[in-house]
Amino acid sequence: MQLSNGKKALCGNHSVSQKMLTQTLRGLERDGLVHRTVHPEVPIRLEYQLTEAGRTLREPLRALEEWSITHLGSVSASQKSYDHTNRPPAAATDRDK
């Protein structure tokens, strides 16, 4: 995947800074999950591919995605319930003093 063409594919509609994307890809490369190829062109072109180890994560990540989709409603409800019951006290105003 070429980074210039791949940011949309990697990030979808989520707002991800170039810095965060670069740091994440470098970490994945360091971990041996992706391989980076630098093409000496102007402008420089980078291409990323999953390594064999990275490809072994496809099925577990698909399972996690399916679980997330299935349980999104209950997780969201739990978060709202927790936030409601664990709300920090409102800041005191000058009027309250």
The whole-angstrom separation of Cα 36 and Cα 49 is 7
The per-residue pLDDT for 90 is 73
Q: Is the CA virtual torsion 61, 63, 66, 67 positive or negative?
A: negative
The per-residue pLDDT for 26 is 96
The whole-angstrom separation of Cα 84 and Cα 93 is 21
The per-residue pLDDT for 4 is 53
Please report which confidence band the pLDDT of residue 65 belongs to, taking 50, 70 and 90 as the band edges: very high
In this structure, are residues 76 and 69 in contact, taking their beta carbons and an 8 Å threshold?
no
Q: Which residues contact 29 (CB under 8 A, 6 or more apart)?
A: 35, 36, 48
Cα separations in angstroms, 92 against 37, 59, 86, 97: 56, 51, 18, 7
Whether the predicted pLDDT of 55 surpasses 90: yes
The whole-angstrom separation of Cα 69 and Cα 55 is 22
Q: What is the mean pLDDT of the chain?
A: 87
Whether the predicted pLDDT of 8 surpasses 80: no
